[in-house]
């Protein structure tokens, strides 16, 4: 297991631009996308060329740095106004993952405190890189705390991708798996393919195969039957937003939470504090409804009759009552969850 810093997203020093691994091309092609301006980065976020809550935090942070670097505005107030405008463009690309706004706001705060355009550019980039470095460290800590929960020779079921590709490196849910493997445990992963965009089949399987960790892909709806057959020891997923009462994550997560509870299997969430939004409740959160064409077409082929309706919510909300533990960089939280410290940390990063 070789961590590859900056593989998911990084600042390209020579070109002064952001590059990211094109997650829509995997596993067939490994190719990078170069974002010369914020518009292209915003497009990359909308198209899910980069996705995953912590990685979206990095995209937000680098996006503000990119806006600052690209600005040709010599006047500080107008420079700041332009950067703020770019920040809002980025913020509206995806509504549910809280980390995107978190990354944007963190860098924006530094830029706003700058006394010159030059300083604004410099502190933006420094802060964005700091966000990425901290994320790498955060994932390692999540991994170490979570690894203690996994017995040797166990099978972990996961949904979507909460791995290196969803973070700066190492991953959250898959970070727990990686740290357990690094500690000498034999861990097998059941990766739910994750319809409609197959992040589990395409991304989770790809990064685990590369690390030599045994991974088996199943259709999402087979998870409950494998739990029934006692082939799943625990479920670990990431999170896009954790409110006071629920974990928002890729649609299907709630189904696994219900099945895990029914079968008496632990259901763990691995997420950094930047995912916490404990000032909100589930009812406050907008769940992104994505384009129905993601379901209507398989490649170019229509698989749903044109006159049928389609609903394509990207996320669902698992009540905390179904969550056995939340693994953060500070340790393992158990019910009843006390978010006092987490909330403070979130408000004052």
The binding site for a second copy (CB under 8 A) comprises: 27-28, 159, 191-196, 198, 201-202, 205-206, 208-209, 214-226, 228, 251-252, 254-255, 258-259, 261-262, 295-296, 298-305, 307-313, 316-317
- Cβ nearer to a second copy, comparing 204 with 278: 204
- Cβ nearer to a second copy, comparing 119 with 280: 280
Least separation in angstroms between residue 66's CB and a second copy is: 31
| Collapsed DSSP state (helix, strand, coil) of residue 250 | strand
Give the bridge partners for 297, in sequence order.
Answer: 302
Helix (H) or strand (E) holding 191: strand 187-192
Does residue 244 contact residue 339 with C-beta atoms inside 8 Å?
A: yes
Query: Is 293 tagged catalytic?
Result: no
Least separation in angstroms between residue 60's CB and a second copy is: 26
Neighbour-count burial for 139-167, b at 16+ CB within 10 Å, e otherwise: bbbbbbbbbebbeeebbbbbbbbbbbbbb
Query: Shortest CA distance to 137 belongs to which of 92, 168, 161?
Result: 168
Query: Shortest CA distance to 274 belongs to which of 168, 197, 186?
Result: 168
**What's phi and psi for 139, nearest 5 deg?**
-65, -40
- Cβ nearer to a second copy, comparing 76 with 255: 255
Pairing of strands 325-328, 331-333: antiparallel
What does each C-alpha distance from 121 to 95, 107, 188 come to in angstroms?
Answer: 27, 10, 45
| Collapsed DSSP state (helix, strand, coil) of residue 279 | coil
| Token pair 């924006």: residue | 108
- Cβ nearer to a second copy, comparing 244 with 296: 296
Tell me the two tokens of residue 103: 């990354």
Q: How far apart are CA 182 and CA 195, in angstroms?
A: 30
Query: Shortest CA distance to 54 belongs to which of 138, 145, 177, 160?
Result: 138
Q: How far apart are CA 271 and CA 247, in angstroms?
A: 10
Least separation in angstroms between residue 158's CB and a second copy is: 13
Which of 135, 211, 220, 240 is an active site residue? 240
- Cβ nearer to a second copy, comparing 111 with 322: 322
- Cβ nearer to a second copy, comparing 111 with 234: 234
- For residue 7, how far is the Cα from the chain centroid? 15
Q: How many CB atoms lie within 10 A of CB 82?
A: 18
Residues with active-site annotation: 240
């Amino acid at each position: 297991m070789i961590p590859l810093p900056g593989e998911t997203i990084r600042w390209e020093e020579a070109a002064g631009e952001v590059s990211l691994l094109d997650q829509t091309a995997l596993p067939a092609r490994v190719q990078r996308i170069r974002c010369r301006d914020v518009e292209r980065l915003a497009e990359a976020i909308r198209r899910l060329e980069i996705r995953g809550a912590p990685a979206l935090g990095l995209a937000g942070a680098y996006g503000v740095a990119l806006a600052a670097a690209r600005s040709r505005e010599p006047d500080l107030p107008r420079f700041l106004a332009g950067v703020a405008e770019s920040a809002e463009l980025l913020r509206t690309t995806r509504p549910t993952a809280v980390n995107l706004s978190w990354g944007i706001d963190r860098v924006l705060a530094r830029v706003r405190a700058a006394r010159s355009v030059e300083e604004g550019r410099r502190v933006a980039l420094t802060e964005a890189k700091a966000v990425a470095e901290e994320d790498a460290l955060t994932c390692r800590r999540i991994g170490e705390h979570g690894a203690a929960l996994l017995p040797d020779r166990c099978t972990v079921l996961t949904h979507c991708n909460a791995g290196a590709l969803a973070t700066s490196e190492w991953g959250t849910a898959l970070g727990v798996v990686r740290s357990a493997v690094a500690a000498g445990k034999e861990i097998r992963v059941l990766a739910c393919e994750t319809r409609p965009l197959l992040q589990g089949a395409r991304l989770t399987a790809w990064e685990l195969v590369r690390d030599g960790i045994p991974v088996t892909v199943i259709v999402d709806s087979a998870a409950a039957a494998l739990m029934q057959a006692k082939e799943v020891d625990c479920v670990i997923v990431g999170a896009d937003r954790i409110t006071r009462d629920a974990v928002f994550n890729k649609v299907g997560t709630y189904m696994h939470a219900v099945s895990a509870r029914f079968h008496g299997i632990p259901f763990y969430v691995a997420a950094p504090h930047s995912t916490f939004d404990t000032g909100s409740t589930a009812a406050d959160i907008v769940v992104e409804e994505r384009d129905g064409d993601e379901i209507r077409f398989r490649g170019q082929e229509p698989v749903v009759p044109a006159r049928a309706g389609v609903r394509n919510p990207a996320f669902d909300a698992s009540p905390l009552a179904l969550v056995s533990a939340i693994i953060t960089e500070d340790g393992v939280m158990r019910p009843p969850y006390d978010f006092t410290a987490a909330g403070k940390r979130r408000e004052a990063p």
